[in-house]
Structure 1
Amino acid sequence: MNILLIGSGGREHAMAFKLSQNPKVKKIYCAKGNGGTAMENKCENIKEKTIEELLKFAKENEIYITIVGPEELLIKGIVDEFNKEGLKIFGPSKKSACLEGSKDFSKRFMKKYGILTAEYESFTFAPKALEYLKDCIYPCVIKADGMAAGKGVVICNSFKEAEKVIYDFMIDDIFNGYGKKVVIEEFLEGVEASILSITDGDTLIPFISAKDHKQIFDNNQGPNTGGMGVIAPNPFVTDTVMKEFKESILKPTLRGLKEERIEFKGFLFFGLMITKKGVYLLEYNVRLGDPETQAILPLMKSDFYDAICSAYSGKLKGFEIKWEDKNSCALVISSLGYPCKYNTGFNITLDENIDGNVFISGGTLEGKDLKTSGGRVISLVTLGNDLEDSIKRCYKEVNKISFKDMYYRKDIGLI
């Protein structure tokens, strides 16, 4: 069977790697893929990127099922368009993608179905937002309502900082309309956790937990990034935390999807905050996380493609996902200067004896040369018998990777 996999990051490389292991999968077309997927078994990169182009490609190339990696096309309604043409596609509908596409929509959904989340107010008029912020308890969190390429969430420690964010988002419109509405939330103190899952709309199966490290510098300093490293499972997600998550967040989320008649066959990401007061839901993502996917999929013993097909067919009930009894550490290697200005076009050298998975995020294949092409370049993933072992292995193996202006955090899993 031929698969069309949409996306070009480390997440998609990890997905392609896992999908290729199924003997029923003949070929994986990656749109547009990257230097890693170009070299991956059974994979071929294609240039098509718009919904119309991808529809045409799927029709002309006997695509059995299309799998969507990133959120942008989901929010634009690619699933609805494929369904109109009778083409199989795995992902949520445009309406259900609002769980990620609109912070205001997702917060109202959480409140309606009794899901514990931070207190909030939404604003479409900048002066009203500023008036609210004058009497706000700091720190507070300001979120752009729509897609903001991972830069739409800011923790503000003072009115001065919050005022600048409102001007940037709502007046200067740095997100081209997606920040014209903002959500202002109370700041929650605790430990973050990521729970990825798969659902057919009736059954939802959570994956093992993960802990992301967002900030660019060691000791969680500096600006937020798309993620600089992940450990899995998350040591803070105890059996008690997982039980509370399932009862207080997972079950009411499923109930809400059904009652709202929101069609959802795809991946659902739960961003959690584990606090002294309980487990709070920070956000939904309607796709797999990056770099959480890179850390988690190598631990999956079950077949990834079979899980997707079961979810698409509405047969997840009774499907069991089995996991390796190990820990993983995913270290993101970036271009120096990311998430701000950085240079690209440098040759990447990979030792052929690396003991782990190398998933490419920002790299292109030019002839036989793999070159840097983005801010986050590589996710190096190693497995260990325990957390300490997996981290140790990762920092040993990273010495077998090199390129000019290479940068990575030295404390993933240690803080």
Structure 2
Amino acid sequence: MPSTLPEGDPAPPDGALPDAALATLAERPFGIYLHVPFCSVRCGYCDFNTYTLTELGADGASVATFADAAVGELRFAGGVLGHAGPAETVFIGGGTPTMLAPDDLVRMLDGVREVFGLAPEAEVTTEANPDSVTREGLERLAEGGFTRVSVGMQSAVPHVLRVLDRTHEPANVSRAVEAARAAGLHTSVDLIYGTPGESVADWRTSLDAAVALEPDHISAYALVVEEGTRLAAQVRRGQVPAPEDDDEAAKYELADEVLEAAGYAWYEVSNWARTPQARCRHNEGYWADGNWWGVGPGAHSHVGGVRWWNVKHPNAYAGRLASGVSPAAGRETLTADQRYDERVLLGVRLVEGLPITDLRGEGRAAVAGLIADGLVDGSAALRRQRVVLTRQGRLLADTAVRRLLGLR
């Protein structure tokens, strides 16, 4: 969730959605995302909508009052959506959700239950900073209905963590994963590669450390230097080198090799799981054009081709809810062409790939060339009539998408 909001049309104060959008609620997966915007320290690479406690005034949403504001938006969402059906997934992200007390996280989940209900096998995830969880707190989350914890590991190498401004102790990642597992929670760890000063050996150390934890799921993302971040300023001043494409490509290939050898299978370009059941179903909802309501400052939502986003600042967010109006800052209705472009962009990133029959003429014509260039699996195209990226294709996914869309 980038901190800069897109431009769009004004959102109605009552949040009302077109009937055609609401009609899709019975047809597609429905999830809830809750954005907790608080961090103890802002990492230099982070472009998410987050705030340290010293940046917030006494009024509005705070760590102490955020759960109340979030439940208020959930009730507002219920008024807009009506009977959306039970939520199949809930994901609490940030920021650092575990800056909130476990009881507050459970209270937000209870708000989802109250308003929408939870599907019998619902996936309920919270992100966690390894320094801000305890065994007792994780047990409380499990008792309250959480099923999954995603731990922000990023790296196992101290000097890499320092460049990223990550303050956690590497040893606490292991403690957090072990405690979550002991509480009966599924586990995931997030990694970042391409940090300035990170060698291939450093990256191998992080991969080996992540595998040794035996989590159910591992995500590995290439570092992107976002404008407006402290890291971008450091790169611009020449204090640290910019990430290099060839270096990141080599590290992605190494990640895929190491994780595959350890029993993890890729299912999305940046995500690997031990079993199909260990995939992050919430994110799969995004990639499959599902419906979701995003709760919290700056959170984005999508229902039936209508996308909207909340005001960024926690105080403005809380103020709007207190006044009984939508916290949305703006929205857009996607055109058929935009939805097609997104279908191609997201579909080819998945291991199941994209049906060739879903492509327009220029896309179908491009498939043979992509196979010849080693970017698309020829066997999957021939036998299953699907566009599935090879490992090389995953490295050049943007190039493959542009060609499938008829762009050069």
| TM norm structure 1 | 0.29
- Which structure has the highest helix share of the two? 2
Higher strand share: 1
TM-score by length of 2: 0.30
